[in-house]
Structure 1
């Protein structure tokens, strides 16, 4: 496992190896979104021994209106910082680095969860929420969301994490702006690819101003919807080039409206055609996840130039000793 063991520096972030635990929602937070003892115990168990180079904490909502589900982690106000420090401390003591993913659900939620009507770039129902027509966001509301992302990122830094990941995948709000399926706007936030990622670029800029140049910023991108009329790899090559120019340090690639599963996928690392194309287009590291279950496959994907880092989710979820075995411990 020579390549899997190889260290990697991403900006100021120095990883001991190429293994990543990707963000996976646990639904274990307190009712108010604060870190619970169950969450601390969970991440403690997964990161024991420091065999995972990077742990990406599950998506956390930047505002109540952006909450996706019950018992989701919150990064929406300063009251969550103290408990989050306990979480970052545990992972660091175990020898792994940790970043936190921040998110707004957009139309991928319900009034029962948020207490208000779901919003989106346009009045287009979410494919997973077809009976709910979201309210189209105004430009002032978009500015508020940009500020909420920046404020959330600042809290991530105050809580002692090594970086922050902006979530634009799996059909959540930023994925909705990127996808022609859900973005039918006629203003500067809709139309061609550069217009559909304007909100992303504004968020990246605001986040970097809030956390400073030395704090590492990742972006998770749903690089294809695998649906007619949706995001294509050609769109994503344009977008990722712009994200790199804006100062994103690494790209974490997954699906758009299809979620974290590629339709009819059977091979390990099934998003590799996306990551390989993007890796050849940008100079920043690219993370590949998707159905990877053994270390040999992870090594082969790295050796084949498919990605720079390998995310292993469900296998680590099922077996907390997976990383130790993979690293030959």
Structure 2
């Protein structure tokens, strides 16, 4: 029996196998962030045949001040919903399920793109991007929490199968989670529970916006791989709280290290993180990181390192990768 070809039932969401296409920025959206023909063609090609059970759409900005790069997808206002409906339909017609990732860049934003000083938990230089943000007030934090909820409501209105909250790769929520960038002395700083207070508020607001049945994923940068940064133990505490708060799937990646680990190229290099998180939660965990062979994905599942496998760059380079992987395991 193949672990990779095993279906997964998660509430109302049925996944035909354990293969996931993780979010990867394409910079193919229109300049205003709306869905473009290039985006539609890209996801149509990647989802063809339904060999990938779940496609997670690249990070989309929830507020103009949280825009990470040119031609990034927007989920920041209601005018984008019509185009996104088309995107969800293109993927559904190919037989795959699809979730949209919502994000705020925080201090990873660039002034020349957003037209103002970026914001963050503390006025501390972003270790990945280099900019020094303006520290947010409590009131502004509340406004960003509300923007996450409004974005999730739009994702649901556009017909997606779930929403993923982005807290990895040194972006906004990751900046609150990491002691490298969160030096606040109020209730949003300090220990892990203080640093994830905003996450729990976002999860609660998103859940209220989408209802009880709509799947919520959270992408967690489970370690910064840097002195003084987030640790595996922090992530275990956080993951337990996220599950209690109503997250349905945890998607593991890196923190300020981004989507890689310096000096580690083995397939499934985030496996120690996903396995540690899997030990403390009962919800499914997604593992990504340098996986290029179906047999490696199969082995990682068999060893209990994760419940779902994300294959990014291999699918980016070869749209037939998932088809070949599935057929090789069926034969």
TM over 0.5: yes
More displaced 10-residue stretch of structure 1: 36-45 or 106-115: 106-115
**SS at 1:181 equivalent:** coil
What pairs up with 1:90-109 in 2 under 5 angstroms?
90-109=90-109
State the SS of the aligned residue for 2:283: coil
* Rounded Cα–Cα distance in structure 2 between residues aligned with 1:104 and 1:200: 12
Distance 1:272 1:133 in 2: 32
Q: Provide the rounded CA distance (Å) in 2 between the counterparts of 1:40 and 1:116.
A: 31
Q: Equivalent residue for 2:246?
A: 247
Post-superposition offset of 1:127: 1.1
Are residues 1:13 and 2:38 paired?
Answer: no
* Residues 126-166 of structure 1: CA deviation (Å, up to 9, x unaligned): 01232x32100000000000000000000000000000000
Cα separation, 2, equivalents of 1:238 and 1:11: 24
Q: Is the 8 A contact 1:101 1:165 kept in 2?
A: yes
> 1:43-58 counterparts in 2 under 5 A?
43-58=43-58
Matches within 5 A, 1:171-250: 171-250=170-249
The aligned runs of 1:1-329 (5 Å cut-off) are 2-130=2-130, 132-328=131-327
Structure 1 residue 11: Cα displacement: 2.4
How far apart are 1:328 and its partner, in Å? Answer: 0.6
Confirm or deny: 8 A CA contact 1:7 1:15 kept in the other structure: yes
Structure 1 runs of 4+ off > 6 angstroms?
A: none
Question: How many Å separate the matches in 2 of 1:160 and 1:151?
Answer: 15
Deviations 1:235-257 (A, max 9, x none): 00000000000000000000000
Q: Are the counterparts in 2 of residues 30 and 71 from structure 1 also a CA contact under 8 Å?
A: yes
Q: CA deviation at 1:265?
A: 0.7
Which secondary structure state, in structure 1, belongs to the residue aligned with residue 35 of structure 2?
coil
What CA deviation, in whole Å up to 9, does each residue of 1:291-321 have, x standing for no partner?
0000000000000000000000000000000
Structure 1 alignment gaps of length 5 or more: none
Q: Distance in 2 between matches of 1:12 and 1:244?
A: 17
Q: How far did 1:111 drift?
A: 1.2
Q: TM-score, normalised by structure 1?
A: 0.99
- What's the Cα RMSD here? 0.7
Structure 2 residue runs without a partner (length 5+): none
Mapped contact 1:10–1:250 kept (Cα < 8 A): no
